[in-house]
């Protein structure tokens, strides 16, 4: 117990000293697996992590500490022993399109991949995983952590999803990182769309009732972030969701479903402290 408290305090001290959610480039200053979005400015989402499986883009993830990333459990629920997973921070191009040679990239393997103990392949809940990297990310303008949500964002708040996933259902994937903004929707609205038994307290939903904007195949595990006030005239980007599942991609009448980071906040910190 004492060891856990010491580690927890050390974790808090490290995070207090490290500015999270502070991109060097404003990602929202735009002219216009992400459906209905647009190419992101290079390195404007410095916590965006690419999960590369056997040499190819597979999922997304989020850097939250210099040794830890958060992703979706379903990205790792099979073939953990035979697949070769790499985790790349600081890139803009997809690994499928020459991204692995980008000089800004820092690429690691996993020291540990920890799936939430409540996750099962047959269910949608608890779809979250923690990956401890085999080295430390060197923070710079191209690689820095997102902040962790401690509470669920209000309904209607604009959130952003980023990824290298398909641009339409079962369609082609882009060669560079894409982004799209989607509003947070209420649990009642999401339950009305999917049925009350499919949406639980581990999930948060975002999107438009008319469809047209969403994450898609290949975006799984990636970040849903919101810009939150951090003090007088200062803001930070906070990780509120992990791309999990949905009906197709941007289908009318349905929303994107994400693992609720505020719900898992204690589990995330506990996992880091114990490992």
Q: Is 251 a catalytic residue?
A: no
* Local confidence band at 96 (pLDDT 50, 70, 90 cut-offs): confident
**Phi, psi of 119, rounded to the nearest 5 degrees:** -80, 140
pLDDT grade for 215, boundaries at 50, 70 and 90: low
Overall average pLDDT of the 160-180 stretch: 77
What's the pLDDT score for residue 18? 63
Residue pLDDT, tens place only, 60-74: 999 999 999 999 999
219 burial (CB, 10 Å; 0-12 / 13-18 / 19+) is: buried
Q: Indicate if 214 belongs to the active site.
A: no
44, 57, 127, 260: the catalytic one is 127
Report the CATH number of the 48-143+267-274 domain: 2.40.10.10
Does residue 201 have an active-site annotation?
A: no
pLDDT of 35 strictly over 90: no
pLDDT of residue 37: 63
Residue 243 confidence class, pLDDT cut points 50, 70, 90: very high
Q: Would you list the domain boundaries of the chain? A: 38-43+146-262, 48-143+267-274
**pLDDT on residue 4:** 38
Which candidate in 44, 94, 144, 220 is catalytic? Answer: 220
Tell me if domain 38-43+146-262 and domain 48-143+267-274 are identical in fold.
yes
pLDDT at residue 209, rounded to an integer: 75
Q: Provide the pLDDT for residue 166.
A: 62
CATH 3.30.70.890 fits 38-43+146-262, yes or no: no
- 44, 65, 71, 74: the active-site residue: 74
**Residues 171-195, mean pLDDT to the nearest whole number:** 87
Looking at per-residue pLDDT, the higher value among 233 and 216 belongs to: 233
């Amino acid at each position: 117990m004492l060891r856990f408290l010491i580690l927890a305090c050390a974790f808090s001290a490290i995070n207090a000293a490290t500015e999270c959610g502070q991109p060097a480039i404003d990602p929202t200053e735009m002219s216009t697996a992400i459906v209905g979005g647009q190419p992101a400015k290079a390195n404007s989402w410095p916590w965006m992590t690419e999960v590369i499986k056997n040499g190819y883009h597979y999922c997304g993830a989020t850097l939250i500490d210099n040794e830890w990333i958060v992703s979706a459990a379903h990205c790792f629920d099979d073939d953990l022993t035979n697949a070769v997973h790499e985790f790349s921070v600081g890139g803009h191009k997809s690994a499928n399109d020459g991204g692995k040679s980008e000089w800004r990239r820092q690429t690691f393997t996993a020291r540990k991949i920890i799936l939430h103990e409540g996750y099962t392949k047959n269910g949608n809940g608890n779809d979250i995983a923690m990956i401890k990297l085999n080295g430390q990310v060197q923070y710079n303008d191209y690689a820095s952590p997102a902040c962790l949500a401690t509470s669920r964002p209000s309904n209607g708040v604009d959130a952003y999803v980023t990824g290298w996933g398909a641009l339409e259902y079962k369609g082609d994937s882009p060669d560079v990182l894409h982004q799209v903004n989607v509003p947070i929707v209420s649990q009642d609205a999401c339950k009305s769309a999917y049925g009350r038994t499919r949406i639980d307290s581990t999930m948060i939903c975002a999107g438009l009732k008319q469809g047209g904007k969403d994450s898609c195949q290949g975006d799984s595990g990636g970040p849903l972030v919101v810009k939150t006030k951090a003090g007088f005239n200062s803001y930070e980007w906070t990780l509120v969701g992990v791309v999990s599942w949905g009906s197709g991609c941007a289908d009318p009448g349905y929303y994107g479903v994400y693992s609720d980071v505020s719900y898992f906040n204690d589990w995330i910190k506990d996992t880091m402290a114990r490992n």
